[in-house]
């Protein structure tokens, strides 16, 4: 049987891991990782740590190796996952902004009208308009500024 690499903790790391291990409600995954490393630092085998915590051997080995490589930063957060690439790219944002600033032949741009013109969904136009507070001339259209009351409201 192959022995796992030994984990030697500094006093500061040990105290931090103990604090993380107690914080089960705030971040249960980080607490579990901290318990794994604390047990590994006591010299227990991977299989024994896995049985005590109720996780797989692979999970214990993963977090042990991550800790050995990156120390506390390695177990503090999950690594970023690949996920879906955003469809609203910076190039598309520039295209929407540029088209918004050039008025159409007739009237004004609406979300649907601009989206149809660009061949994209109105959602993307809406996201960009809100992000950059566009179009400026539409910001107050349809809204009336509230007149100040000369007399206070009364109940009754």
Range of the domain at 54: 11-76
Burial of 111 (0-12, 13-18, 19+ CB in 10 A): middle
Distance CA(109)–CA(116), nearest Å, equals 10
Domain assignment of residue 3, yes or no: no
Count of domains observed in the chain = 2
Same domain, 59 and 19: yes
Distance CA(5)–CA(45), nearest Å, equals 10
Same domain, 67 and 96: no
Using pLDDT thresholds of 50, 70 and 90, give the confidence band for residue 151. Answer: low
Same domain, 48 and 71: yes
Same domain, 16 and 41: yes
Domain assignment of residue 2, yes or no: no
How would DSSP label each residue in 11-75? HHHHHHHHHHHH-TTT-HHHHHHHHHHHHHHTT--HHHHHHHHT--HHHHHHHHHHHHHHTHHHH
**pLDDT per position as a tens digit, 100-146:** 988 888 888 899 999 999 999 999 999 999 998 887 665 444 455 55
**pLDDT per position as a tens digit, 11-59:** 999 999 999 998 878 788 899 999 999 999 988 888 999 999 999 999 9
Integer CA distances (angstroms), 19 to 10, 31, 32, 68, in order: 14, 8, 12, 19
């Amino acid at each position: 049987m192959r022995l796992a690499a030994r984990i030697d903790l500094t006093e500061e790391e040990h105290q931090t891991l103990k604090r993380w291990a107690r914080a089960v409600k705030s971040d249960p995954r980080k607490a579990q990782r901290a318990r794994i490393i604390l047990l590994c630092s006591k010299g227990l085998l991977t299989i024994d740590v896995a049985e005590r915590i109720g996780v797989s051997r692979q999970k214990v080995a993963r977090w042990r190796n991550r800790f050995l490589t990156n120390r506390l930063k390695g177990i503090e957060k999950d690594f970023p996952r690949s996920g879906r690439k955003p469809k609203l790219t910076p190039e598309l944002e520039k295209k929407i902004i540029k088209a918004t600033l050039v008025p159409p032949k007739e009237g004004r741009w609406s979300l649907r009208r601009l989206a149809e013109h660009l061949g994209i969904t109105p959602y993307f136009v809406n996201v960009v308009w809100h992000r950059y507070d566009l179009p400026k001339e539409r910001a107050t259209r349809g809204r009336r500024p509230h007149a100040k009351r000369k007399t206070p409201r009364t109940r009754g």
